[in-house]
Amino acid sequence: MPTLFDPISFGSIKAASRIVMAPLTRARAGKDAVPTPLMAEYYGQRASAGLIISEAVGISRQGLGWAYATGIWNDEQVKGWKAVTDVVHEKGGKIVCQLWHMGRMVHSSVTGEQPVAPSPSTAPGHIHTYEGKASYEEARALRLDEIPGVVESYVKAARNAMKAGFDGVQIHSANGYLLDEFLRDGTNHRADAYGGSVENRLRLLREVTEAVIGEVGAEHVGVRFSPNGEVQGTVDSNPEAVFIPAAKMLNDLGVAWLELREASPASTYGVATEQPKLSPEIRKVFTRPLVLNQEYTRDEALKAVAEGRADAISFGRLYISNPDLVRRLKDDLPFQEDDMETRYGPIGAKGYTDYPFAR
C-alpha cells in the first residue's frame, strides 16, 4: 500500500505527496473580495503540500457573505489570484480553487440582498459582518427561473479560476452552504424538481458539476462533502441515503477526486455527532482518489492511508501554524499551536504569515 508521503494523481494534478492543505477561509482580503499580496506570501509558504485547496472563494456577490473573504467573479479578483497561483507554482506546488456559494449563510449588509436557499429558513447563530456580529437573516427560496443563473455563476467562476492559473477547482458542497442545503431534507422542503426525493435533491449538484466539467474538464474537478452530522444547522434525517448515491453520481460523472469532512463524537470544532462515518460505504462507489478530513493526527493519517481507507488526508488547522507541515509530518517534528484570536482577518500578517518554519 502507498504511504502518506508517496505521489498521487488527482485527475490532471500530479501531487508530490498525499498531504493536502484543506480550505481555510482566513478573511485577509478587502471589501472588494480581491486577494492581496500578503495572501500570495501565505500560500507560497505552504506550497510544499501535495495539493493546496484554496480558501472558499465566492462565485458571485450573492453567494459571498463572509466579511473580508475572496471572490472570483471579476477581472480584478482573477488578477489577484493569479499572483497567488504564480507564487505557489514557482515553489513547485499545486493549488485548486474552492468554488463557494454560501446560500443562507450570508448577510444582506455584505451581499446587498436577502439570502437565498432551497426553502425559506434561518441559520442558527451569528455571522461576522463589516459592522460587527449580527444574527442570520431569513433566506428566501430560490425561484426556478433563478437556478440556471446560479449554475452559470459556477461555470464563470470555474473559467475564471483556470484563467487565474489554478490547477483545478473544487465544488464546495459541504458545511451547510447552498449545494449542501439542497442535498439535505432539513433545509430543502421544496415540492418541485429540486426537492422531495433524493434524486431531486441531487439535481442542482448534478447540474453544477456537469456544467463545470463541461467548462474545464472532469480531470480538473473535485467536490467536497460533509456527509454526517449537523453543520451550521444543516442536517439530514438519513444521510446514508443521500451521500452514497451522491458519491456514485459524481463517480459516474467522472470527477477527479472527492473530499469528505467527517464529524465524530470527539469533534472539537463544529458539532460532534454519533452518526457513523460514511467513508467506508462511499469508498465502495467512488473509485477515484478519496481524501478524508477531520482533525487527523500524524499517526491516524499514516494509518488511514496505509490501510487504504483514504488515498490522501487533508489537514486544516495544523496548516494555519505549520507552513512546513509536510516536513513536520515526515520527520515527526512537533507542531506549533495556532492563535485563535488571529484565525480570521482583517488582522494582517499576525497569525497569518509570521509562523516560523522548523529549523
Report if residue 355 sits inside a domain.
no
Cα dihedral 333/334/339/344 (nearest 10): 40
Q: Do the beta carbons of residue 21 and residue 319 sit within 8 Å?
A: yes
Catalytic: 177?
Answer: yes
- Overall domain count for the chain: 1
Report if residue 359 sits inside a domain.
no
pLDDT score recorded for residue 269:
54
Instruction: List all residues 6 or more positions away from 163 whose beta carbon is below 8 Å from its beta carbon.
Output: 78, 82
Report if residue 178 sits inside a domain.
yes
Angle between the 203-216 and 239-253 helix axes, to the nearest 10 degrees? 20
Report if residue 259 sits inside a domain.
yes
pLDDT score recorded for residue 146:
98
Report if residue 76 sits inside a domain.
yes
Assigned C-alpha cell, 157: 467562476
pLDDT score recorded for residue 154:
99
Q: Kindly report the three-state secondary structure assignment for every residue of the chain.
A: CCCCCCCEEECCEEECCCEEECCCCCCCCCCCCCCCHHHHHHHHHCCCCCEEEEEEEECCCCCCCCCCCEECCCHHHHHHHHHHHHHHHHCCCCEEEEEECCCCCCCHHHHCCCCEECCCECCCCEEEECCEEEECCCEEECCHHHHHHHHHHHHHHHHHHHHCCCCEEEEECCCCCHHHHHHCCCCCCCCCCCCCCHHHHCHHHHHHHHHHHHHHCHHHEEEEECCCCCECCECCCCHHHHHHHHHHHHHHHCCCEEEEECCCCCCCCCCCCCCCCCHHHHHHHCCCCEEEECCCCHHHHHHHHHCCCCCEEEECHHHHHCCCHHHHHHCCCCCCCCCHHHCCCCCCCCCCCCCCCCC
Separation of alpha carbons 88 and 80, rounded Å:
13
Report if residue 354 sits inside a domain.
no
Q: Do the beta carbons of residue 198 and residue 188 sit within 8 Å?
A: no
Between the CA of residue 55 and those of 171, 280, 320, what are the distances in Å? Answer: 12, 27, 12
Report if residue 357 sits inside a domain.
no
Spot the catalytic one: 177, 296, 352, 355.
177
Separation of alpha carbons 303 and 23, rounded Å:
23
Report if residue 50 sits inside a domain.
yes
Give the mean pLDDT per block of 10 residues along the chain (359 residues): 97 98 96 97 98 98 96 98 98 98 97 98 94 95 98 98 99 98 98 98 99 98 96 96 98 98 73 88 98 96 98 97 98 97 92 97
Which domain range does residue 116 map to?
Answer: 8-342
Instruction: Indicate which CATH number applies to the domain containing 311.
Output: 3.20.20.70
Assigned C-alpha cell, 87: 507564487
